[in-house]
Structure 1
Amino acid sequence: MQEVVKKFIYTSVGLVSITAETLKQTVDKLVEESKLSSDEGKKIVDEFLKNTETKREEFETQLQSLVEKVSKKLKFVTEDDLNEVLKRVEKLEAALAANKTEAEKTSSKSQKSAEAKA
């Protein structure tokens, strides 16, 4: 799910980058044609980039919040939940291995004791 969100964000960033480049080219053309001063053109591009960055941050925050809500509603397992379960499984496996080793030792002692009596 996070990969889809990342791809969406990267695509959006790419689109904004293309738009910014197109805006810059258009402003440069207007400056060349003396329909806009160089300072005005720079101001327009700078304001666009600043506004775009602010909107991107807002969008990412809202999208992250939405993803978290959807994940909770659909009861997706989080990475932390998965890691916790993996740790519990590892502990259980270790306990099982220890119990198996102890049982083998006990079984071996019982066999030796039975052989000694015979």
Structure 2
Amino acid sequence: MSWDIVATYAVAVCLIVGAIFSLVGSIGLLKFNDPMTRLHAPTKVGTVGIGALLLAAMIHSYTLGEGVVHEILIMAFLFVTAPISANFMAKVNLHRRECDTPPPPAKDRTWATLNAPDDAAPGASSNKG
């Protein structure tokens, strides 16, 4: 069995894995009810699904003797930005109180996510001038 055949099978497996994760993430985005659970599905598609598709492109380009620098840069960008953007979207949902808030921490008073005055209305800005 030559390396070209092994690479072809590896590309096929990566494409199938990427397609399955993309399908499951799309279904999860439609089926989940609240924003916090709905956020979970597309972040997995962004990391695992797109990562598998880019890995398939990298393997295919490598077998053809072409460079894979673009795919590596795209994969690095996605793996860095997807968790950060998901974290920011989750924090926005917590601050706007559009989801169930987690229980208060036991002894830690500096927990930054919900460290806001109780009298402040959601979405209102306080100007200290």
Normalising by the smaller structure, the TM-score range is 0.3 to 0.5
Q: Of Structure 1 and Structure 2, which has the larger fraction of its residues in helix? A: 1
1 or 2 for the larger relative contact order (CA 8 Å, sep ≥6)?
Answer: 2
- TM-score normalised by the chain length of structure 1: 0.44
Instruction: Please identify the structure whose Cα radius of gyration is greater.
Output: 1
Q: Give the TM-score of the pair, scaled to structure 2.
A: 0.41
